[in-house]
Amino acid sequence: MGYNFYSGEVLLIDKPLTWSSFQAVNKIKHSIKNHVSLIVDGVKVKAKVGHAGTLDPLATGLLIVCTGKKTKSINELMGLEKEYTGTFYLGATTPCYDLEKDIDHTYPINHITVDALMESAKKFLGIQQQVPPLFSAVFVDGKRAYELARAGVAAELKPREIEIKEFELSNISLPFVDFRIVCSKGTYIRSIARDFGISLNSGAHLTKLCRTRIGNFYLKDAVSPIQFSELQNG
- Catalytic residue annotation: 56
Helix (H, G, I), strand (E, B) or coil at 222: coil
Listing DSSP states for 85-151 in one string gives: EEEEEETEE-TTSSTTS---EE---TT--HHHHHHHHHHT-EEEEEPPPSSSS-EETTEEHHHHHHT
Listing DSSP states for 169-206 in one string gives: EEEEETTEEEEEEEE-TT--HHHHHHHHHHHTTS-EEE
Residue (of 13, 50, 34) closest to 221 by Cα position: 13
